[in-house]
Amino acid sequence: MSKTAVITGATSGIGAAYARRLAAEGYDLIITGRRESIIRKLADELTKQHNIKATVIIAELSEEVDIRRVIEVVKNAENIEILINNAGYGGTFKPVTRLTSADYEKMINVHQLVPLRLISKVVPGMIERKKGVIINVSSLGVYAPTPAGGIYQGTKSFLKLYSESLFMELKDKGIKVQALCPGYVDTDFFRDSEDEESKTSILSGFRTRLTMSPEAVVDYSLKCLEKDRVICIPGVVYRLLWRLVSIIPGSLYYRLTSRFIRVE
């Protein structure tokens, strides 16, 4: 029987890197994305190179009708061994006064409700087969909150905490669970969400020096998976920063962060 991997947000970046890696390992793919020409080109490429089957679902995962189409395909698929909840975006790095209820609901749908609904569909089969992998792409930002990052970092924090809970619940059932917490990655995520002012900020310079490739992130993710590490932070510098932030008193961290990141 063929083995299948489901990857949301696989048009480019981390999702596409996972798709390429898993196709090379012989997995059939169910991949979602919004840019049809790009993701279908990826699917055709992987199908020809690796003789696998790639099912493409064009979907906006903040919209209920599209979510239901993805759920229906996943529900009817056989032998799903891997689920990667990668779809996400960062367009809500705005002051709270400039956010609407629609902004909140859209991000909650993409970062929380879609992963939960997909997990609920694939876990029973994984338990029955005593084998499975669930990777939820969170963010290093869950450890380093910033002004105007509340809804993004809050929804990603949910993914991190939920993954830890799921890891404990399923580890004796043959299912591996990971919360991937990358820092800056060379993807459309940052290019699309960065405004003109932030491109010249101190954070932009920091980002340029520490940006990782999607392939390096995926490589480290799979290494963490082999070692059953539920929290995976790619990049030596990012792991050092994570440890540093964890020991800084909260009051000092808030003062320093508010000083360097100002919200008008």
The one-letter amino acid at 95:
P
Q: Which of 200, 191, 99, 197 is nearest to 152 (CA)?
A: 99
Buried (b) or exposed (e) across 195-222, using 16+ Cβ within 10 A?
eeeeeeeeeeeebeeeebebeebbebbb
Residue 147 φ/ψ, nearest 5 degrees: -60, 140
Say how far apart CA 247 and CA 262 lie, in whole Å: 23
Say how far apart CA 4 and CA 171 lie, in whole Å: 20
Residue 208 φ/ψ, nearest 5 degrees: -60, -40
Please state the separation of Cα 110 from the chain's center in Å. 10
Q: Which residues are catalytic?
A: 152
Contact 34, 8 (CB under 8 A): no
Contact 175, 134 (CB under 8 A): yes
Collapsed DSSP state (helix, strand, coil) of residue 195: coil
CB count within 10 Å of CB 132 equals 22
Residue 262, token pair as written in the block? 């100002």
End-to-end CA distance of the chain: 56
